[in-house]
Chains A and B, each alone.
Chain A
Amino acid sequence: MCTMSSCTTILVFLFLFFCIRLFLAIFSYTRIRLASANPRLPQTCSIAIFLGSGGHTSEALKLASALDFGRYSPRTYIVSEGDTFSAQKALALEHIKAADHAFSDDQPQYELLFIPRARRVHQSLLSTPPHAVKSLLACMRLVSVRPLFKKGAFRQPFVDLLILNGPGTCVILCAAIFLNRLIGLPSPRVMYVESFARVKSLSLSGKLLYHFTDRFVVQWPGLVQPGGREIYRGCLV
């Protein structure tokens, strides 16, 4: 009898803890920060960019090319397994940037990471779940487990900022970040940039991630809803 009640108490506490974490994790997205997100002195900021494939990759790398690589360093390019196009394009950008800037050290300040695809093109919806689970596990390893074993970076997120622009697999990546926030581990800020191809309606990834990103950026004025959280600054690519 006594063990039963203590079990219940523990469960109630766990449940309450979970609710609070859930609230905090969700609340962390809805807070629109107008002041500096991170008023800090260090001059560099690590970023990760998800390269979705084809047109998504081209847009993501165009966005990346706009950044000051001296400041946004090191850079992690997250590529779906087997997507050599995206990997090559990322390397090409790093090459161009390295030629443009003379960085103080010769160490390459970027890495390429491969994660399993959540869903292949034309794949049936039925066979998606197992792939999605495999993909989620790989993302969780990247987002939650890997930073724990990183030397000299205790309680640091895997990167400071994650930039996403679709498709499919980026939703899984964002889910891993959400779980990471839920258990209270340090997480990157997440910025989603909707494709230039989207004029009147959001893509499926955009709709799914709308409430789960810190910054949601669109490239056409028709996508701005009154009172919405998206921001529009014109064509970015």
Chain B
Amino acid sequence: MLVFVTVGSTRFDALVEASISEPVLSTLRDSGYDRLIIQRGNSVIESSEEFNGESCTIQRHGVDIEIWRFKPFIQAECEQADLVISHAGSGTILDVLRLGKPLIVVPNPTLLDNHQEELASALQILGHLKATSIQDLASTIALFEPRDLVPFPPFDGTKFSKLVDEEMGFI
């Protein structure tokens, strides 16, 4: 099974480092995930210099890892993935949930006043995803049950078009 980790175009070193750390990789392997694709964006991996190129492939703790700086088609990776782990950016969250993929988000604690935490926990309360922290990532993966998640409603353009039609006097 495949796990896709993405930080969008942001920089989130801690999430990328955590996802190639021993506890997370072992947990992934034990949960049946044998492939890991990471889209690191502008994150810098200090522990392993060789990962900081455009792309790199390696095997660690029984998991085949591919690290990319930017993937041209993130949607393709998401569609293949059995689990997505991402930063809590609203765009990424919406994209992944609309693809119906199980999602674990890690709000970036170094961002001030960006409200990722609020969005992540609001969506967790509604049951659409699981929110966690860097420290708890491994244990969250171990306990994660994709079947317990509530499907996110598909995009419904009629709500906004009706609003604008009302505003402009068409309704």
Contacts and interface: CB of A to CB of B under 8 A. Distances in A.
Interface of A: 36-40, 45, 54-55, 58-59, 62-63, 65-68, 71-72, 160-161, 163, 189, 191, 193, 195-201, 214-215, 217, 220, 222, 231, 233-237
A191 B160 CA distance: 11
Interface in B146-171: 153, 155-164, 166-171
Contacts of A55: 89-91
Q: Which 8 A-B pairs have the closest CB atoms?
A: A66-B157, A36-B169, A197-B90, A38-B169, A199-B118, A66-B160, A236-B160, A199-B122
A189 B168 contact: yes
Where chain A touches its partner, the secondary structure class is: loop
B60 interface: no
B119 interface: yes
27 contacts: A36-B166, A36-B169, A38-B169, A40-B169, A45-B168, A67-B157, A67-B160, A160-B168, A161-B167, A161-B168, A189-B167, A195-B90, A196-B90, A196-B94, A197-B89, A197-B115, A198-B115, A199-B115, A199-B118, A201-B115, A217-B163, A222-B122, A233-B159, A233-B162, A235-B153, A236-B159, A236-B160
A195 B94 CA distance: 12
A237 B94 CA distance: 8
A163 B166 CA distance: 14
B78 to A, nearest CB: 15
Contact of A214 (B91, B122, B163, B167): B167
A222 B123 CA distance: 13
Contacts of A214: 167
Contacts of B170: 45, 71
A161 B91 contact: no
A195 B9 CA distance: 19
Given A66-B161, A197-B119, A191 B91 contact: no
Nearest to A43: B170
Contacts of A40: 169
A68 B161 contact: yes
